[in-house]
A and B are shown apart, each in its own frame.
Chain A
Amino acid sequence: MNRLACLVLIIGTALPAVAQDARKSGFDFMGPDTQAMQKDDLANPGMLSVLEGEALWKANAGTSQKSCASCHGDAAQSMKGVAARYPAFDETTQAPLDLAGRILQCRTERQAAPAPQREGRELLALTSYVAHQSRDLPIAPPKDARLTAARAQGAALYSTRMGQLNFSCAQCHDDNAGGHLGAAPIPQSHPTGYPLYRLEWQALGSLQRRFRNCLSGMRAEPIAAGSQDAIALELFLMDRAAGMRLETPAVRP
């Protein structure tokens, strides 16, 4: 071995080992074409919902005739970082609440508008617009002791075997991430881009809709949208993904 190679070897071993984050977003499991679709804001179909959300943000709603902007002003300022720290503990209901639930609450309580449907177009558009304001920010679950019980509930749900097929989330997404269920690569299930445009749905959808897909695949009873179980599981997943970048609106196969 020549002297230069020896030198490189010595320097290489002297450097401290840098811990690699083993966590990967679902983005990394996609093919290059789908990744390109997500990265181009003019090709990303999720951006259509974000645009719709922007229009809704500025429009007067309900008998209050107030818009979101009436109270919150420019979303790019007021909503920055919000999606990154949801689910959060809600003072009004004294319970954990997800972002969509919070928007729903604003609609009914503060704008006196009819309750938008969970997984309906209006709520998805508003949620995607608000969450989009946190794009590229790290997921930062709130350090709130009142969420402890929900965190434990979420962790328990994640590792409980369910359904006729008797699977737990952990068995696929912790133990077998990177493997293939038939043709489908199994990602690590980090909620880095919700609400997101799923090519399979040909529409934008929420994390809780994604839960339904998995659970029905396992032949298990779906978790009701907006239920405490759903919020607890979402909170657990956000904890697990703490520090990872938000990509909303993501594109997924």
Chain B
Amino acid sequence: MWRAVGFIAVLVSAQAQAQALVPYRIENGAIAQSLTGVKGDTAKGRAIVVERQKGLCLLCHSGPFPEERFQGDLAPSLVGTGSRLSEGEIRLRMVDSTKVNEKTIMPPYYKTEGLERVAANYKGKTLLSAQEIEDVIAFLVTLKDDTQK
């Protein structure tokens, strides 16, 4: 378990493209505190997860989405995420999964520094906004193992 203190990316007025990242704190394999302080919207979170161009999730993950064809098989199913992981653990994985597994193929959803050769129109921007991440987390915590079928 390692501990890292989040940082504030200062928005320099000349760099209109770069966005300021909300500070976060990793402790015991989780980011316990919400990135925005505003509760995530479960329905919006589900919409982000199934929209492949937005959340990208179903390219790798499968999950409880019967209306979605051709879900990827490169990552664990999202079924039961809310039973396996705490809200804070989910938040850490979404923000930067390399902090959990250095070799992960999961993209970092809330990171702009330390990335190589980022395309010009994505430079300085996070994959999802802080609130969008909270929306996805709010949805994923609802995915409980249903052991009483």
Asked if chains A and B are in direct contact (CB within 8 A), the reply is: yes
- Report the bound CA distance from A222 to B73 in whole Å: 27
B residues sitting closer than 8 Å to A (CB atoms) are: 52, 56, 58-60, 69-74, 98, 103, 105, 107-108, 111, 115-120, 122, 125, 127
Query: Given A172-B105, A181-B59, are A163 and B72 neighbors across the interface (CB < 8 Å)?
Result: no
B105-A164 in contact (CB<8A): no
Point out the residue from A183, A216, A219 that lies within 8 Å of B69, measured CB to CB: A183
| Count of A-B residue pairs with CB < 8 Å | 71
Q: What range describes how many residues of A lie at the interface? A: 20 to 34
CB distance from A98 to the nearest CB of B (A): 21
CA distance A222 to B111 in the complex (A): 20
| A64 interface hit (Cβ, 8 Å) | no
Instruction: Determine if A182 and B122 form an interchain contact, defined as CB atoms under 8 angstroms apart.
Output: no
Nearest chain-B residue to A216 (Cβ)?
B119
Known: A165-B127, A171-B105. A182 touches B58 (CB 8 A): yes
Shortest Cβ gap from B52 to chain A (Å)? 6
Sample of 25 A–B contacts (CB below 8 Å):
A162-B117, A162-B118, A163-B119, A163-B122, A164-B119, A164-B127, A165-B56, A166-B115, A167-B105, A167-B107, A176-B105, A179-B72, A180-B73, A181-B72, A182-B59, A182-B71, A182-B72, A183-B70, A219-B119, A219-B122, A220-B117, A220-B118, A221-B117, A221-B120, A222-B119
Q: Please, which residues of chain B bring their CB within 8 A of the CB of A171? A: 103, 105
Mark A residues whose CB is within 8 Å of B: 160-167, 171-172, 175-176, 179-183, 186, 215-216, 219-222
Roughly how many angstroms separate A119 CA and B117 CA in the complex, as a whole number?
A: 23
Most buried by A among B69, B103, B111, B117: B117
Q: Is the interface of B mostly helix, strand, loop or mixed?
A: loop
Given contacts A165-B127, A182-B52, A183-B70, contact A220 B107 (CB under 8 A): no
Residue of A nearest to B97 (CB): A166
Task: Please determine whether A221 and B72 come into contact, CB atoms closer than 8 angstroms.
Answer: no
Contact of A166 among B52, B69, B70, B108 (CB under 8 A): B108
Asked if residues B60 and A164 are in contact (CB atoms below 8 Å), the reply is: no
A221 contact set on B, CB distance < 8 A: 117-120
